[in-house]
Structure 1
């Protein structure tokens, strides 16, 4: 996709984690790793976006801010390990690789950016600023975290926001911008932006589909004024939807990631697939977009899928995208909702139990504070169904 004076071009990718095995290869490999195969695509756009899934820091002291980090061991649910306390970081030298690849904006709103505390975040901000890479979604306080990035290109003001409901920032505490401010921030950004992109880090791990409540919320965000929504976190690709003139990418997948570190998806082929989203737009209007299918090779770097692999990927993406309306129905989404509740209720129980044993009662407050209205509605719906089934039998 070539730059053009008549419109703006955007390229977006999902989770970028430059630590663990990726970091080892950066320090020992060529200057182009891990973006050698895709740099020409990333460099071709006016705006190139990704989610930076780990701080760029030399800090060694881990921070236990997120309640999921306090479990002593993973919880096994249906034979799969959940709640692994994985900490991620990468050497600040990686900022140069990101800049050279073409990234000029990165979301820091995710569940790993504060793994090494405020010092780790500050070092990340400094490293990226050095290479003129804009950051969104995390900052030294809540106000800083909620600030949008604005690009002025070809007469179009492009505003970009980012959110996640983990490591939430406070008035005097560094952290991440929570999703509860999305509507307010979009309305404020409309004063300065002709075209609005919203990045959100959320969703069920390794699920091919979003929840019905998540689809409804994404539609609401488009109705509020967003033109494009870029979601990430499930670590697999989810469907793409056109809605009310906007585009929703429910999960962009793992773009650069040492997939061996998580027992939940280290052997999962779906976790080694991602996409590059390329879009052309003018003021408040999408002109068109393309999807470039990506696979992660054995060195954890993205490569463009070709021939039969590309055709298989294209068919898969088309299939899960066409199934989104079924997920929105009660029939299609009920299994996903039950699975979501089952996993999260069991995890919450183990976290609370561990917190009580350790005397870390603040974690219980964090669990309660993290429960969304949609989660509460799902829980009530599940309890009512259970009661109904018990009495009907």
Structure 2
């Protein structure tokens, strides 16, 4: 059940979060920004990043270039301005670097030129979670530069660092008069993260989960207890699972439930799937099993079209600071077209609502379509 108006009125003003899935500003998108990286790629089939722009143009027509830094966010900026969330959290699946030390024997390498950093700051991003399968695409030098560039831009990071302690370190966002948000970022091999990317006591890398066992839950619980104060909202952001398909593994459901039951987390922010999948409200805490890609350069790439990977969601979750319980969840559907985020048609919004409702209803959460073509969770 949702929190009633009378219950909410006795608590602090809810904290509203903007969450989304994978933001991939490298490769083709980087090429249309004002300062493109060297376009050379080391992929099996594509050796020049400009080819991804050309593929997209073959499908939908000419993409302007160079574009302004705010171009790629398109209608998402309008929604962010309108809703004015207290914090904006994304999974950044792109190295921000000039490093040429690409990771050998890896099929895809995403990087954005550091001078294109305003494409993130223009959206006023507060935190980038980095425990994913692209943050080390351009080697340890690329990771070091990415962390430095984000820090210099006053964007908090979690999930990757110079050693395991740094990778496990939480990001803390202070919300004036409301409270704090604590973010822990981690990832699993099922998302494509190589085991050799795991940070250790003496090696840089990501916070890599070797399994989803009770022991791992206890490890995360220890990190939470070290940092959580009364009234804090704790988010575990996790990169897990395959790229396509709606089935949520029982192991993921069990792990999410254990984190809420035993580790005192308030929201699980899952990502890796290339399209949004089902969500759950468990004990009045929000579980996003897979937020889907938010922004990518896949526009001209064929295959898996029936999953509608061109459709993205902005998740706006309002959380009660005193309890960590979900007050409301509204989702704004967008479409990636011309390497830009655009409001969807009514037909596409309805398609997303039906798909998400079908799969979320299995987890006792219904998804409704509002009169203004947004999606709303009912639980």
Matched residue, 2:52: none
C-alpha displacement at 1:22, in angstroms?
0.8
Matches within 5 A, 1:296-307: 296-307=335-346
Match of 1:279 among 317, 324, 331: 317
Question: Structure 2 CA distance, aligned partners of 1:170 and 1:268?
Answer: 40
The answer to whether 1:91 aligns with 2:113 is: yes
Rate the CA distance shift 1:252–1:59 in 2: closer, same or farther, 3 A. same
Specify the SS of the correspondent of 2:112. coil
Matched residue, 1:351: none
Specify the SS of the correspondent of 2:236. strand
Contact (CA 8 Å) 1:55, 1:115: kept in 2 or not?
yes
Could you report, residue by residue, the CA deviation over 1:103-162 in whole angstroms, capped at 9, with x for unpaired residues?
111101101101111110111112112221111110111111111111222241221110
Could you report, residue by residue, the CA deviation over 1:260-305 in whole angstroms, capped at 9, with x for unpaired residues?
587765x455211221111222223335233324333332322232
Matched residue, 2:137: 115
For structure 1, the residue ranges without an aligned partner over 5 or more in a row are 71-84, 326-393
Task: Let me know the Cα RMSD of the aligned residues.
Answer: 2.2
Question: Structure 1 CA distance, aligned partners of 2:231 and 2:202?
Answer: 28
Question: Structure 1 CA distance, aligned partners of 2:229 and 2:329?
Answer: 29
Matched residue, 1:158: 181
Could you report, residue by residue, the CA deviation over 1:211-263 in whole angstroms, capped at 9, with x for unpaired residues?
11111111111112111111000111111100012100111111111115877
C-alpha displacement at 1:205, in angstroms?
1.6
Specify the SS of the correspondent of 1:271. coil
Contact (CA 8 Å) 1:255, 1:301: kept in 2 or not?
no
Contact (CA 8 Å) 1:279, 1:286: kept in 2 or not?
no
Matched residue, 2:203: 173
Question: Structure 1 CA distance, aligned partners of 2:117 and 2:147?
Answer: 10
Could you report, residue by residue, the CA deviation over 1:151-189 in whole angstroms, capped at 9, with x for unpaired residues?
222241221110013321111111101234423322323
Contact (CA 8 Å) 1:156, 1:283: kept in 2 or not?
no
Contact (CA 8 Å) 1:275, 1:292: kept in 2 or not?
yes
For structure 2, the residue ranges without an aligned partner over 5 or more in a row are 1-11, 35-65, 210-215, 365-379
Contact (CA 8 Å) 1:255, 1:296: kept in 2 or not?
no
Matched residue, 1:230: 269
Matched residue, 1:133: 155
The answer to whether 1:251 aligns with 2:293 is: no
Q: Higher relative contact order at CA 8 Å, sep ≥6: structure 1 or structure 2?
A: 2
Between structure 1 and structure 2, the one with the greater Rg is 1
Higher helix share: 1
- Scaled by the length of structure 2, the TM-score of the pair is 0.75
Matched residue, 1:16: 23
Contact (CA 8 Å) 1:150, 1:193: kept in 2 or not?
no
Matches within 5 A, 1:59-70: 59-64=99-104, 69=105
Specify the SS of the correspondent of 1:204. coil
Question: Structure 2 CA distance, aligned partners of 1:209 and 1:182?
Answer: 25
The answer to whether 1:46 aligns with 2:86 is: yes
Question: Structure 1 CA distance, aligned partners of 2:301 and 2:255?
Answer: 28
